[in-house]
Amino acid sequence: MILYPAIDLKDGQCVRLLRGEMSAATVFGDDPAAQALKFQDAGCAWLHLVDLNGAFAGTPVNGAAVEAILAAVKVPTQLGGGIRDMATIAMWLEKGLTRVILGTVAVENPALVREAARAFPGQVAVGIDARKGMVATKGWATETTVKVTDLALSFEDAGVAALIYTDIDRDGAMQGPNIEATEALGRAVRIPVIASGGVSRMADLIALRDTGVIAGAISGRALYDGAIDLAAALKTLATAPHKG
């Protein structure tokens, strides 16, 4: 299972939100590229970037910070937030991003996801953010009546590289991920599922890995707080899962 350190960008700074609330942001640093290098130096295989302002605005806002990260690191990177048309997708991939994450647009314009996945094989992921099993969009500000599993299954044949599943009520709360819901999604679809939201200690990562159906996990606040030691976590996750 791949561990994705998260760099959430707001006004050019590294922050973490509590349950997706922009007003509940904790600033962890004002040099995102330096933070990205720290994660790379610890041995991570991927980086997960989020343009928080962009998620609300619907267009890229923290582009300069993302470009600085791309210039600084060699590890592959994925980015979500404000990516809602083919031109933006193509722009980011041309700038060196490995994978774009489509969230709001996956609900509002699923045809775009299919078009992008065809045009850029292996480089398009779908972000599914949920409250109580229902998908939320536009930086989690808008709740829909779309069920997580229904949305995920609708992209089974689209060539999507991964599904990033976030339980909003767990995000940034340091209360542990929703393992049950994430595992259920992992068993329901053939697309690799990446868990996000609430990963707060090493035991969470081990529990996710040991489901056997979760391809990756994203962690932010726990890495900044020191609740999870990134180098130690990467070493542990490189070993075989326990057979329960």
Q: Are 107 and 138 in contact (CB under 8 A)?
A: no
Cα–Cα distance for residue pair 175/200, rounded to 1 Å: 7
Residue 47, SS3 per DSSP: strand
Which amino acid, 164? Answer: I
Tokens read off for 138: 């536009």
Closest CA to 114 of 153, 80, 155: 155
Q: 150 catalytic, yes or no? A: no
129 catalytic? Reply is yes
Contact 112, 83 (CB under 8 A): no
Q: Which of 51, 129, 167, 204 is catalytic?
A: 129
Query: How is residue 181 written in tokens?
Result: 């819901």
Question: DSSP H helical segments within the chain, as ranges?
Answer: 32-41, 52-57, 63-72, 86-94, 104-108, 110-119, 148-154, 179-188, 202-209, 221-225, 230-237
Phi then psi for residue 235, to 5 deg, are: -65, -45
The set of catalytic residues is 8, 129
